[in-house]
Amino acid sequence: MASKLLRAVVLGPPGSGKGTVCERIARSFGLQHLSSGQFLRESLGGGGGECPRGRPVVGGRPQPRASSTGRRWEWDGDGALFCCGACTGFPRTLGQAEALDRICELDLVISLNIPFETLKDRLSARWVHPASGRVYNMDFNPPNVQGIDDLTGEPLVQREDDKPEAVAARLRKYKDAAKPVIELYKSRGILHSFSGTETNKIWPYVYTLLSSKIPPVLLDEEN
């Protein structure tokens, strides 16, 4: 069974920095970072990310991956994500939140509120390494060599769904689906919302919040 140390999800619109914040959480607190969007991209085998049925079912049960700290995750038989760590992109709808309730009680939910114009700018400058899901940004965290992944030397790609017209549609879809999810967690008193235009300014607050729940393995400055 998965450890009961901390179960957290990070919610936010496309480009709000869920992946970026979760990577920092994973490093700072020794947790596994899970991304439902990345699972979908891997299972669909492309750079895009649309879920064909709008559900996080990826056809069968992926192998559990052990993290360096032994905390782990797996999908349950119905395609709901059972998480122990910091999870992005799930739950995305009220139905998914209810499915998650049946298998896991969340300790906290982080919601990122970022202005739309900022999201568009970020996504147009995003490049990813498809195999690992590593994310770069030409302004914020550029690769050492343009178009090349720092660790593997493999080429970076732009996600199909980062095109401006796709971004607008994703944002609308997110707003409709996420509202009841956010209300649900707010009513439970586990929602923590952070607003701003810069991840580096939001991050210290997220770090402080999590430090009150779980001991960090890295100091804030080490990130």
* Residue 54 interacts with which of ligand G5P, Mg ion, none, CB < 5 to 8 Å by class: ligand G5P
Q: Which residues contact 33 (CB under 8 A, 6 or more apart)?
A: 19, 22, 23, 25, 26, 85, 86, 87, 88
Q: Which stretch binds Mg ion (CB under 5 A): 11-19, 107-115, 119-127, 153-161?
A: 11-19
State in angstroms the smallest separation of the CB of 219 from Mg ion: 25
Residue with smaller CB distance to Mg ion, 78 or 197? 197
State in angstroms the smallest separation of the CB of 28 from ligand G5P: 15
Nearest to 33 by CA among 61, 6, 59: 6
State in angstroms the smallest separation of the CB of 61 from Mg ion: 22
Closest residue to ligand G5P, judged by C-beta, is 37
Joined together, the tokens standing for residue 177 give 């689906």
Total residues in contact with Mg ion, by rule CB under 5 A? 1
Q: Give residue for tokens 């199909």.
A: 160
216, with CB counted inside 10 A (0-12, 13-18, 19+), is middle
Strands 126-129 and 81-82: unpaired
State in angstroms the smallest separation of the CB of 93 from ligand G5P: 7
Residue with smaller CB distance to Mg ion, 13 or 19? 19
Binding site residues, Mg ion, CB under 5 A: 19
